Amino acid sequence: MIVSHAEPLVAVKAHVVSWQARLSAHRAPLVTVGGVLLLAQAVLLFQQRTFVDLFYDSGNYLAVAHHMVAGAGIFNHLRTPLYPGFLALFLTLDLPHPIATAVLVQMLLYGAGVCEAYVLAWRLTGQRWGAAAIATLLAGNLYMLQWERTINSEGITLWLLITLFLVLERALHAPERRRWVWLLGGLLVAVVLTRPFFVYLPLLVLGGMLVQAWRSGRFAAQWRQLALVSVLIAGVLGGY
């Protein structure tokens, strides 16, 4: 069988055209949400007059990040490692303004979280403008927007949680669910290692998925993977 070299390009082009057609229906709601987000960013910048804001626990995060850069490892009694590791990444890149760059990335992640909130709300409701209204509440929330400019883990945690629940929706409803379950497990670990407040979230999420699988008649097909993911999460978090 002879396969033309042009066939992969045709497939990619068809995939791109399909995505463009799907996104065109969401253009107006997303532009509205984006406009609110940009306006809120401008208002916040005018209010604060500073690009980087320090909170009472910012010093701890920065201290742990510097310890990581110095080779002291990821284990520290002050903070769990993921957010200090995020800061340490920018410190090791030898940038002119590493912390400001980290804040810029936090702003981009907040914007990504707003878009993900729109997608999640649309998948759950099927209403484009209803999803836009929900995402707009997040985009225009000046209190929450302050987190993205602050050296603390709240902004990153918010993005991780929105991403986690978006992946959870896929793990429950997508035709190919198994890969989404693995990604869900990784996100659960990331959330806990960012904010240990959510240490019981894996139990709630995976336990809820087991109950849902039992009620929908898919328990026999799913319990092994969910059990394995649970063991891996417990191993990583327990080992830490």
Q: Give the pLDDT of residue 15.
A: 59
CB 37 within 8 A of CB 114: yes
Q: Give the pLDDT of residue 1.
A: 46
Range with lowest mean pLDDT among 18-22, 44-48, 78-82, 161-165? 18-22
Domain ranges of the chain: 29-152, 153-240
What is the DSSP secondary-structure string of 61-91? HHHHHHHHHTT--S--SSS-SHHHHHHHHHH
pTM given for the model: 0.88
Q: Give yes or no for residue 4 having a pLDDT over 60.
A: no
Q: Give the pLDDT of residue 57.
A: 87
Q: Give yes or no for residue 49 having a pLDDT over 80.
A: no
Q: Give the pLDDT of residue 82.
A: 94
Q: Give the pLDDT of residue 19.
A: 66
Among all chains, which residue has been given the structure tokens 């869900």?
A: 184
Q: Give yes or no for residue 87 having a pLDDT over 50.
A: yes
